[in-house]
Chain A
Amino acid sequence: MAAYQPVGIGFVATLRRDLLLAFRRRSDFFNPLAFFLIVCSLFPMGVGPDPKQLAILAPGIMWVVALLACLLSSDTLFRSDFDDGSLELMLLSPSSLYLQVLAKTLAHWLLTGFPLTILSPLLALLLQLPASGTVAMMLAMAVGTASLSFIGAIGAGLTVGLRKGGLLLSLIILPLYVPVLIFGVGTVQAAVDGFNYLGPLAVLGALLALAATLAPLAIAASVRISVDN
């Protein structure tokens, strides 16, 4: 007898499990954050501490580094599940794979994009970003990094079956990150220049809406392909 599954159970269980796993292995969680913090603090030393110059570069620097931090962490999204066979069991479970990968991606964002968002005002201060841009930076980071997590998960799903997928992963997903980068920087720049930044922010929101609805389909399909051998 095939019992009906209440839809959200698998979603909640996977989300809770991934957060619990991250809590038990805290070093994995701190890696992208430490990367973000260290690389951003290298720039004032590299380009010189001139506040004017730094302020011009700040939005771009922060976004590029956030992008790379997300890229670094997305490789691990399905890796451990693939290695220990949990991914196979997810595919063979009666609950919907769409919701499972959605839960995994959400957990990934909560562990990378969200802390990056929280950290960003601190780094904005370090990089002399004018105070008028801080709120816009946080909003754009929160919305933008969520899209980055979804895009990264597609690439992670495709390359998880390969032993050395690192470079291929960046080749696949970095081009797809570009729209988020453009509108992310655009949002902050508009706010710094004193314009209304809701326009570019709305585009970021639209990208996220698109990613959140369609990406899980692509992620689920890519995971299926990786496990199919």
Chain B
Amino acid sequence: MTLLLQTVDLCCERDGRRLVDQLNLTVEEGQIHQIEGPNGSGKTSLLRILSGLSSRYSGNLHWRGKAMSRVRAEYLAELTYLGHSSGVKAVLTPRENLMWHAALRGLVDDTAQALVMTALDKVGLYGYEDAACFTLSAGQQRRVALARLFLGQSALWILDEPFTAIDKHGVGELEYWIADYAKSGGAVVLTTHHELNIDHAIQRVLLGGT
């Protein structure tokens, strides 16, 4: 298995509390890592550090064996990050939202159109692609954000509470997509309070337990 993301002695402190202490995490192709811990234990902080949004940590990050600072552009090209806030504009339609995300990944015109429509179809928004997002329900808006997972090929998904506002059927689907992605060689790092029911080995990382 190819080594993707690696943290070396990662520490993170907020307001005098040490949230992450000497974390040595290795994420390989085909692995699912679930970050666990009570509220306020630093799950989101850890994911923001791993994605490169936050620089408030000590220790080192490596991507495919190279120091993160050197290969940041390559890392971003292979990363899909789904945070708490979805990045979905309420006044735009799902199609317009996703076309922008596709363009940020360098996809345009017919390729992007086709990909966006497939992605929307996959998350169950077929028929809603031209309705403004503020007319959609919270769960449907979340699905627009989830559709980003299927734009372009990434090697790593970082998902922060991906199951929020998703219905029971959707949860099952998302679990299936995550397992399917891991089986095809993708790596997933996620946080959730929901008990994952996935047909794939899950590595658990416990925060705030010590």
| A residues adjacent to B (C-beta < 8 A) | 1-6, 9-10, 12-14, 17, 20-21, 24-25, 80, 83-86, 88-95, 227-229
Contacts and interface: CB of A to CB of B under 8 A. Distances in A.
Given A20-B92, A25-B91, A94-B76, 16 more contacts: A1-B153, A2-B73, A9-B103, A10-B103, A10-B106, A13-B108, A14-B104, A24-B91, A86-B87, A88-B87, A89-B104, A91-B52, A94-B73, A95-B104, A228-B54, A228-B56
Interface string B75-87: 0111101011111
A126 B178 CA distance: 64
B89 interface: yes
Closest 6 CB pairs of A and B: A85-B85, A13-B103, A93-B104, A94-B77, A24-B91, A5-B106
Contacts of B73: 2, 94
Interface in B97-156: 99-101, 103-108, 132, 153
B20 to A, nearest CB: 15
Interface in B153-201: 153
Contacts of A85: 83-87
Contacts, number: 95
A85 B160 CA distance: 13
A144 B91 CA distance: 31
Contacts of B103: 9-10, 12-14, 95
Given A14-B100, A92-B76, A92-B81, A6 B106 contact: yes
8 contacts: A3-B77, A83-B85, A84-B87, A89-B87, A91-B53, A92-B53, A93-B101, A94-B105
B104 A90 contact: yes
Contacts of B132: 24
B96 interface: yes
Contacts of A3: 77, 106
Contacts of A24: 91-92, 132
Nearest to A23: B91
B2 interface: no
B52 to A, nearest CB: 7
A86 B105 contact: no
B39 interface: no
A21 B91 contact: yes
Contacts of B210: none
Contacts of B48: 229
A20 B77 CA distance: 26
Contact of A92 (B79, B84, B85, B90): B79
Nearest to A24: B91
Contacts of A83: 85
B108 A92 contact: no
Interface string B50-79: 011111100000000000000001101111
A95 B86 contact: no
A221 to B, nearest CB: 12
B91 A84 contact: no
Contacts of A5: 77, 106
Contact of B52 (A17, A92, A229): A92
Nearest to B72: A94
B106 A94 contact: yes
